[in-house]
Amino acid sequence: MNANVLGKGLGRAACVLLVGVLAACGTATVVKPSGGGSTSAGTSTTPRTSVPKPGQTAVVRRGDTLYALARIHNITPGDLAAWNGLSQPYTIYPGQTLRLYPGGSAASTTRPAGGSTSTPVTTAPAVTATPVNSGIGWRWPAEGALVGRFVAGETTKQGIDIAGSSGAAVRAAGPGVVVYSGAGLVGYGELIIIKHNDQWLSAYGHNRKRLVNEGQSVKAGDQIAEMGRTGTSRDMLHFEIRYNGKPVDPLIYLPRK
């Protein structure tokens, strides 16, 4: 599937598995760092060098973009993406937490005098591909055949695809709060994002009908949507799990069938 925009974590969120995402208001969650290039009226306020904020984080809200958050916190978009391990298309999700400082022992970002700002100097922190324990009792979000698997680094394969029939139940894979319910994330169709805690999000795409609203608490197994084919060519559920905004293989956490 085309992950054109998370949040911003799968958030968006993420995120970004995400990134925020908007349907009615039309604000996209994904913004690609363009370095020093001209984009809009806000370009003049985009910082040319980053001011790291050790120990501080920002939570992505509905409508946020990577560029906006970077400007607010006086960080270049390239550094903000790098510090959070965001690869293209830099998806962020509502509810996703972004670090405002580089990983490791680095406390600041250094750029050569007179150098170009198009390429961030800070190296992206290592991504934890298989966190040891999520602390969440995951369950399968839908019944059906597995027709698509997670592939690390592939922006179009950031989760799994479960085929089924139109209207089949889509259920929450774990307890949490709905942080997004809409159709504003291109390539995901009717999408629901659940925040399970500060580190974990799950995303449910291509639904025919959404049955929950933002801010609603759900339990594992609660029906949240009806399966459909919005944003895809067949009836199926696209399901993602994101850890700190980064997609991980759902099959590592879902119980064996």
Q: Cα separations (Å) of 95 from 5, 49, 215?
A: 15, 27, 11
State the DSSP code for 83.
H
| 104-149 pLDDT, tens digit each | 533 333 333 343 333 333 333 334 444 568 899 999 999 999 999 9
HEC profile of 228-252: ECCCCCCCEEEEEEEECCEEECHHH
Report the distance separating Cα 194 and Cα 241, nearest Å.
10
Residues of the chain with pLDDT under 70: 1-46, 87-90, 104-132
CA-CA-CA-CA torsion sign (176, 179, 183, 188): negative
The DSSP-derived string for 195-218 is E-SSSEEEEEEEEEEE---TT-EE
Report the distance separating Cα 4 and Cα 222, nearest Å.
29
Q: How confident is the model at residue 159, as a pLDDT? A: 96
Q: How confident is the model at residue 121, as a pLDDT? A: 34
Residue ranges of domains in the chain, CATH in brackets: 145-252 (2.70.70.10)
Q: Cα separations (Å) of 42 from 47, 71, 82, 131?
A: 11, 9, 21, 38
The pTM (predicted TM-score) of the whole model is: 0.59
Report the distance separating Cα 39 and Cα 205, nearest Å.
30
Report the distance separating Cα 159 and Cα 71, nearest Å.
31
Q: Strands (DSSP E) along the chain, which ranges?
A: 57-59, 97-99, 145-148, 160-163, 169-171, 176-182, 190-195, 200-210, 217-218, 223-227, 236-243, 246-248
Q: How confident is the model at residue 35, as a pLDDT? A: 40
Report the distance separating Cα 210 and Cα 225, nearest Å.
4
